[in-house]
Structure 1
Amino acid sequence: MSIHLQSSCVKSKNAGEERGEKEAGSRIASSSLKRNAREKKSSIPPTPPTSSFSPPTFRKPLPTEPLFDPELRPFVLSTHCDALFASLRGLQEEGLLLDCSLKLLGNSYKAHRLVLAAVSQRAEGWLLSGETGLKEVEVDRGRMTPAGLKAVLDFSYRGEVDRGETDEVLEACRCLRVDRLEQLCGKDAVVSGSKEREKSLHVIRTMWERNAGCDVVIQTNSGDRFPAHRVILAAGADYFRALLCGGLRESGESVVFLRGVTSWVLRDLLDFIYSGRLNLSFRNVWDLTEAASQFQLQGALSLCLNFLQDNIDETSCLDILALAEAYSLEDLGRRAEDYVLAHFQRVAEGEKFRDLPCIQLQRLLERDALNADSELAVFRAVVNWVEDDKERRLSHLSRLMQSIRFALMRPEELQEVQDCKLLLRSSGGKTVLETVSNLLHGDRRNSDCKPRTPNQVLVLVGGDCVNENFERREPNLCLWFARRFVRGEGLIRTIEWRPLAHLPEPPRFRHCVCVLNNALYILGGRKYYGALDILKTALRFDPAQGRWERLPDMSRPRDYFAAVCHRGKVFVLGGNCDDMNCLDSVECYTPEDNTWRSSHPLDVPLCGHAAAVLNGEMFVSGGCDSQLRCYPCLWVYDSVHGCSKRAPMTVGAGRAGHVMLVSGHRLVVAGGLQPMWAGFGDQLQCESYDPVHDSWTSFPFLPRPHLSPAAAALDGQLYVLGGSSADSARDTPWVHRYDPQAKCWNKLGTMPRPYADLAACALQLPVSQKS
């Protein structure tokens, strides 16, 4: 069967491919954000003695009034209303700030007038009367009963409707003029307590905006005064609960002074307490995060932290790290530090890196996770940091150089270190020069050091290409790994490839690979171009030992199939078996007993499809059947129950010869071909799948065709390598990488040869193999 996924007999080397492309990218934060995270804050709001919270100072920019900030966007905490009313119930149960006592049949039912006023017109009148202190009301009239009054109170604090004694509830509603509850009692529909609480909060917010019933004024240094309700402040923030309910002087005063907080910050935080909404941008998030942390306003703080986490980039990561450390925001600090480590070279090129404190820089240098093209780049970053303030920082040079891993450098890199004149100016630098000299002369005693990363590298396996004389296609027997990615002058990029191992005969293309417990499995494919050349053999490669192992054969020969590792097993799904027929069969290999077993078949025979594992589920996308019908389908495959359909891909009438990779919590399909009005054509459009909402969204186009390419995910970035073009029948030598931060594909350079029908993976290699 000719599947038309590769046009293998007519592929040719594309010598005229252009050598460079313009890179695209986008920054999340505003370019107008010019801030120095090291400018010391003058004062902070006082923390009540009942709290152990004592924030350190955070050096931040001068306060900015963000009223007219065009970048402000609203963020809503969906759980705020429920949390606020839960806190109000807690205040009621503890007997705090109660200002209303309803007497009925000799019993007293205490509540907060403001909470009652959100549902009762009579209570609203009590609130607006201006009376202070405890309001006592006799309600022994008509046919009001304790059950009816309790239902009204429950509705006020919980938004729940008790229809058990409807007549009694209706009588209480008429007495207290609780119109909303009275209307709900007459309906059979299920009442949502959450929605009713939201309605009550809206009423409370409206009263606050009208300054109705406010019983406390918050005043700032500038003299601005903000009326509010004590009970809402106490329910909304632990700081105000301690201030107003903890027996402090402020609990009995009508005006409370807050020092060290600007008026607009206080205004925004009060607005959040009454609504659960914050308007955020990079201009105001620093001050709001600081204030929300100091006032222990957890809901507002969570919105600020989510905003910062979602918008970490090279211009903001060091500021976010400083903020997180100043206020002990551990999770935010980890995220910011991880970003700095993952993008160390770019961050080190920025202006804010120059202001990094020495102790923080040293901690970064000591981390194994620091990501750089080479250790020389780390050395250069330290030298530039010292040079920026040589008089003060030269004394730190010796300590910082102890964190540089010189043993990881190549001879030409060590030579650059040896030529650095800055090292001659300190005793510690001279020690470094001695170490470098020893390494250059081959003395590597006591030079063992851990690599910066987990040593995962991009590995190419097999494939085929036109031979050097353009006479015929030849399968590839070599495994290559990308030792490093080099950024040259301007837009020029190259990849330094090194051979890793040689495949045992026969060579393979149109095969699959997967990695389980850092062992590389190479499965099926074909050794040449005849119908009898399709393979059912399987190999396993141990990179630590450099050892190959022949595994039992699969039950059927397969090429153009898919393979994944799932729950400790290797699954092979579908494929072409004889150039005439596709397979629906699925097999799984169990390493423990070295055995292949049959699993539930696919819904349809497929070849040229793709598979990936996300959130513990196996997904299968697209492919062609034996009649060359191309599918847009997405299935979830279960080894016991088979396939269940999900939302189909939306781009084109189908997709085959493509790849599917995991990016975060989504799946990305890229490359391949699509059905055209006559035959098939290249598919450059990509799309991503959200399993939570069962929906597809657009994704940046691939810059070049990649039909039957290799693909791998490494360090959170997606790689698509080689393949061919359905339109031109030419091989694709390029490697493209998707950067989730920049939201674009970048051309990184070429493969060792323009391979097609190859496979790739991320594999952890010993240090000795990488050097």
Structure 2
Amino acid sequence: MLVVITMDLCCTSVHRVILAVGSDYFRSMFTLGMRESHQSCVTLPFILASELELLIDCSYSGAIPLSWKCIFEITSTALQLQYQPALSLCLDFMHQEINPHSCLDVASFAEAYEMVQLLEVADDFVLRQFQKVACTSKFKDLPAKKLLKYLKSHSLYVPSEIVVFKAVVAWIQAKPKTRLRLTKDLMKTIHFHLMTFKEFHEVKSLNMWSDYSLEKLYETIFEEFCSNETDYSQCRIYLPKESLILIGGDQTCEDKGSRSISRELWFGNSLRNHLGIKKAMEWRKLGEMPDPARYSHEVSVLRGQLYVFGGKNYYGTNDILNSVYSFKGTYDPLQNSWERLAEMQEKRCSFSVVVLDEKIYAIGGYCEPDYLESVERYCPVANSWSFTSPLDMPLSAHVAKVFQGQIFVSGGLSNQYQCLASMFLYHPETGSTYLENMAKPRAYHCMETLGNCLYVAGGIATDTVDQLACEVYNPEADSWTAFTSLPVPHVGAGSAVLEEKFYVLGGYSREDFSDTKIVHRYDPTAQRWENMGKMPGPNNDIQAALLCLPSHFRL
């Protein structure tokens, strides 16, 4: 404890830790003073457990916010004193506030103190945000061994090999005298055969190749780029922590004369970059839902738990379901621990489900012969359903999504089977508030939140016309803007957002009823749709979700 005397001679008792956290001047003063007095050799010897406790109380109240300026000192002290409340607060800060400028410091700190979980979080962030991390000044100080570890990782996520190449060159040129000799080993980690001609032109134009010692290396790189014998097992693979899951759906049988409904679950095991701009997803079968097989159903994820609702189990009448299943805990197919929950109060297909405030809402839909205006809410704690305010009108084949704590509902079919261009907010207590209409009517479409907007794609424009036009909604301006149209129809497709890209999966064409067994991914940065390869199984009226899977289901 210190006594601070102010200019007006008032005396105030202040803990040293409070002054140290808030001022470099006091931090240096206390550290120097303790070194000179030879009282201790810990990193911050003047911080006692009681003072740490006060700091924690102040941090929780917001009086003393933690910052990157002091977090490593406080964490090391908490480790030395084994003061768990302080340590937990510091680790929470680093987990939540990690960014491209701090992640390498976090990784170094975690490695020095053998904090395995923190190191995994930091390394994972570097691999996921490699392009941004490579632009920071700290990246140029990365040890060669650590850089090679990142470059060789199967989890390295980059939009193109040119990003890896530029990062390597920037690292070498930061200290060319000592690092130029590592060029060969570093260049081996870059897949030049995956580059486009435009990208390789950037490689070729680099002044670095004028160095005589790199002449043979460039020839090898050029041969790799020109080679037609591509080993696709060597293509870069990205394994996301969250996996894209496909649930149920139906498809045309091989004989083309009938259709089949599925209980299958598939997951996107990896994303592969191939030659040029060609990309593909590798799919693996994950397991099966309980009976019955279903399509035109809905799914949601709440607290890592997968829920499956309603749908149809055949193509006739009286085939609409109100059954609900969930998987206990984090999804692990080896456990196969599905649980049947309380049934919805109404049978529903072609409806929409959202999660808001730890409750699940089933909105509208179809139950022969009527379209539904009812909305019901599921409480997981009580395992019960209750009706909330109905929609203004019966609605089916629409899409609802939660964005910024509000439920947005777009398009759909009216009870006159008319495609709608509407967009409205639904509130469980007060009902609907209408917003600006879409430019194009649509039903059986996809809508996802991405960034600060809602992206809408696919569906039908009328009963017999596919809707290829796409739109993005800005809630702040209450306005719609067109973006790149889909290359093929996607009616009744699944959708999800993974790694800041909009996935539209499968569906069919209403004009000729042909299946669309393709996954398209929209990149808002590049403003284009990418063909991600074929669907693994069922492709119509499927549902998609993001789940964290156990590591033994990955490559």
**Normalising to structure 1: TM-score of the pair?**
0.45
Distance 1:670 1:500 in 2: 27
Counterpart selection for 2:339 from 536, 549, 554 = 549
Structure 1 residues 208-239: Cα deviation after superposition (integer angstroms, max 9, x where no partner): xxxxxxxxxxxxxxxxxxxxxxxxxxxxxxxx
Structure 1 residues 126-156: Cα deviation after superposition (integer angstroms, max 9, x where no partner): xxxxxxxxxxxxxxxxxxxxxxxxxxxxxxx
**1:661 maps to 2:448:** yes
**1:583 maps to 2:367:** no
The SS at the match of 1:535 is: strand
**1:736 maps to 2:520:** yes
Structure 1 residues 627-647: Cα deviation after superposition (integer angstroms, max 9, x where no partner): 212211111001111111111
Please report how far the alpha carbon of residue 366 of structure 1 lies from its aligned counterpart in structure 2 after TM superposition.
8.4
Name the counterpart of 1:716: 500
Please report how far the alpha carbon of residue 715 of structure 1 lies from its aligned counterpart in structure 2 after TM superposition.
1.8
Q: Which letter does structure 2 place at the counterpart of 1:656?
A: A
Structure 1 residues 701-746: Cα deviation after superposition (integer angstroms, max 9, x where no partner): 1121110100011121111100111222111111111112212211
Higher relative contact order (CA 8 A, sep 6+): 1
Structure 1 residues 61-93: Cα deviation after superposition (integer angstroms, max 9, x where no partner): xxxxxxxxxxxxxxxxxxxxxxxxxxxxxxxxx
Q: Which letter does structure 1 place at the counterpart of 2:439?
A: T
Runs of 4 or more above 3 Å deviation: 337-348, 352-356, 360-367, 380-391, 393-397, 451-454, 542-546
| Alignment check: 8 A CA contact 2:496 2:504 kept | yes
Unaligned runs of at least 5 residues, structure 1: 1-50, 54-319, 326-336, 401-450
Unaligned runs of at least 5 residues, structure 2: 1-22, 26-98, 105-122, 187-236
Name the counterpart of 1:267: none
Name the counterpart of 1:505: 291
Name the counterpart of 2:391: 602
Name the counterpart of 1:520: 306
Name the counterpart of 1:622: 411
**1:672 maps to 2:455:** no
Structure 1 residues 539-558: Cα deviation after superposition (integer angstroms, max 9, x where no partner): 11244443211111111111
| Alignment check: 8 A CA contact 1:525 1:560 kept | yes
Name the counterpart of 1:193: none
| Alignment check: 8 A CA contact 1:720 1:735 kept | yes
Name the counterpart of 1:570: 360
Distance 1:599 1:342 in 2: 41
Structure 1 residues 340-379: Cα deviation after superposition (integer angstroms, max 9, x where no partner): 754537998xxx8999524277777889x995269xx9xx
Name the counterpart of 2:434: 645
The SS at the match of 2:295 is: coil
Name the counterpart of 1:559: 349
Counterpart selection for 1:593 from 363, 377, 382 = 382
Please report how far the alpha carbon of residue 697 of structure 1 lies from its aligned counterpart in structure 2 after TM superposition.
1.4
| Alignment check: 8 A CA contact 1:584 1:603 kept | yes
Decide whether aligned partners of structure 1 residues 763 and 636 sit closer, same or farther in structure 2, where only a CA change above 3 A counts. Answer: same
Equivalent residue runs for 1:79-158 within 5 Å: none
Distance 1:596 1:470 in 2: 41
Q: Which letter does structure 2 place at the counterpart of 1:600?
A: S
Distance 2:303 2:518 in 1: 29
Q: Which letter does structure 1 place at the counterpart of 2:411?
A: G
Between the two proteins, the alignment pairs up a number of residues equal to 379
| Alignment check: 8 A CA contact 1:617 1:637 kept | yes
Decide whether aligned partners of structure 1 residues 604 and 743 sit closer, same or farther in structure 2, where only a CA change above 3 A counts. Answer: same
Equivalent residue runs for 1:360-439 within 5 Å: 372=156, 392-393=178-179
Measured on the aligned residues, the alpha-carbon RMSD in Å equals 4.0
Distance 2:167 2:129 in 1: 18
Distance 1:452 1:736 in 2: 17
The SS at the match of 2:312 is: coil
Please report how far the alpha carbon of residue 488 of structure 1 lies from its aligned counterpart in structure 2 after TM superposition.
2.0
Distance 2:144 2:404 in 1: 36
The SS at the match of 2:375 is: strand
| Alignment check: 8 A CA contact 1:561 1:607 kept | yes
Counterpart selection for 2:540 from 739, 745, 756 = 756
Counterpart selection for 1:685 from 469, 472, 487 = 469
The SS at the match of 1:532 is: coil
The structure whose Rg is larger is 1
Distance 1:383 1:694 in 2: 40
Q: Which letter does structure 2 place at the counterpart of 1:571?
A: Y
The SS at the match of 1:647 is: coil
Distance 1:523 1:745 in 2: 30
The SS at the match of 1:738 is: strand
Distance 1:668 1:321 in 2: 27
Distance 1:354 1:395 in 2: 21
Distance 2:499 2:320 in 1: 34
The SS at the match of 2:354 is: strand
Please report how far the alpha carbon of residue 394 of structure 1 lies from its aligned counterpart in structure 2 after TM superposition.
9.0
Decide whether aligned partners of structure 1 residues 358 and 512 sit closer, same or farther in structure 2, where only a CA change above 3 A counts. Answer: same
Distance 1:713 1:520 in 2: 17
The SS at the match of 1:357 is: helix
Distance 1:365 1:617 in 2: 45
Please report how far the alpha carbon of residue 383 of structure 1 lies from its aligned counterpart in structure 2 after TM superposition.
12
Distance 1:694 1:706 in 2: 26
Equivalent residue runs for 1:525-544 within 5 Å: 525-541=311-327, 542-544=329-331
Distance 2:238 2:277 in 1: 26
Structure 1 or 2: more strand by fraction:
2
Distance 1:364 1:588 in 2: 50
Name the counterpart of 2:212: none
**1:496 maps to 2:282:** yes
**Normalising to structure 2: TM-score of the pair?**
0.61
Name the counterpart of 1:697: 481
Structure 1 residues 417-436: Cα deviation after superposition (integer angstroms, max 9, x where no partner): xxxxxxxxxxxxxxxxxxxx
The SS at the match of 1:529 is: coil
Structure 1 residues 247-282: Cα deviation after superposition (integer angstroms, max 9, x where no partner): xxxxxxxxxxxxxxxxxxxxxxxxxxxxxxxxxxxx
